[in-house]
């Protein structure tokens, strides 16, 4: 239900959904937002957090990335004023409790995550900037090399034209 409530908003700002993870490609990077549920959730007390990731866009366009595959990663709590881990608590059998938690999470995504993701790629961590610029420089060459390798594999085994 949590993802179902966040999905319409994230779709309006350009994210594509894959389970509890959303990806958006922009300016040479992939931005990732994911919902992480606690391993200790029960029927009486549950919680979730929002993970955010950014990584250079070097994979095929239809590839979906998980947050843990990103070079720059953080949890939503570190974007909030407290700068510490933050979990949204709710009671699964209480629809009002679920709605409150999801509303708080959505408000935080709008207030903290979207401004963070609105940075230019170069404003993210220096390691991401270095990786982005280095990888983007070589992406075309690697794609051409990969295409050549695929052609070679399709032609294998080679047929000789001589009568030997």
Give residue 58's pLDDT: 85
The yes-or-no verdict on residue 142 having pLDDT over 70 is no
Confidence of residue 121 (pLDDT cuts 50, 70, 90): low
Burial 22-52 (b: 16+ CB within 10 A, else e): bbbbeeebbbbbbbbeeeeeeeeebebbbbb
Question: Which residues does 108 contact at the CB level (< 8 Å), separation at least 6?
Answer: 50, 76, 79, 80, 86
Give residue 132's pLDDT: 42
Task: Give the model confidence (pLDDT) of 29-67 as tens digits.
Answer: 899 999 999 999 999 999 999 999 998 888 888 889 899
List the domain boundaries for the chain. 2-155
Spatial distance between the Cα atoms of 155 and 142, rounded to a whole number of angstroms: 20
Q: Is the pTM of this model over 0.85?
A: no
The yes-or-no verdict on residue 14 having pLDDT over 70 is yes
Q: Is 93 exposed, middle or buried (0-12, 13-18, 19+ CB in 10 A)?
A: exposed
| Contact yes or no for 32/66 (Cβ under 8 A) | yes
- For 14-23, 108-117, 125-134, which range has the lowest pLDDT when averaged over its residues? 125-134
Give residue 57's pLDDT: 87
Question: Which residues does 46 contact at the CB level (< 8 Å), separation at least 6?
Answer: 37, 38, 89, 90, 91, 92
Give residue 27's pLDDT: 82
The yes-or-no verdict on residue 160 having pLDDT over 90 is no
- Consecutive H or E run containing 79: none
- Consecutive H or E run containing 23: strand 21-26
Confidence of residue 156 (pLDDT cuts 50, 70, 90): confident
Q: Mean pLDDT for the chain?
A: 82
| Contact yes or no for 55/69 (Cβ under 8 A) | yes
């Amino acid at each position: 239900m949590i993802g179902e409530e966040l999905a319409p908003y994230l779709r309006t700002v350009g994210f594509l959904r894959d389970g509890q993870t959303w990806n958006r490609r922009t300016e040479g990077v992939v931005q990732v937002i994911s919902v992480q549920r606690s391993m200790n959730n029960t029927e009486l007390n549950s919680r979730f957090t929002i993970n955010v990731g950014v990584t250079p866009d070097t994979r095929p366009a239809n590839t979906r990335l998980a947050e843990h595959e990103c070079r720059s990663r953080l949890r939503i709590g570190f974007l909030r004023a407290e700068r510490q881990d933050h979990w949204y608590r709710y009671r699964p059998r209480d629809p009002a409790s679920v709605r409150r938690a999801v509303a708080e999470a959505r408000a935080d995504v709008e207030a903290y995550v979207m401004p963070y993701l609105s940075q230019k790629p170069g404003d993210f961590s220096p390691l991401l900037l270095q990786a982005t610029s280095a990888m983007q420089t070589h992406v075309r060459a690697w794609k051409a090399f990969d295409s050549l390798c695929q052609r070679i594999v399709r032609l294998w085994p080679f047929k000789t034209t001589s009568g030997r």
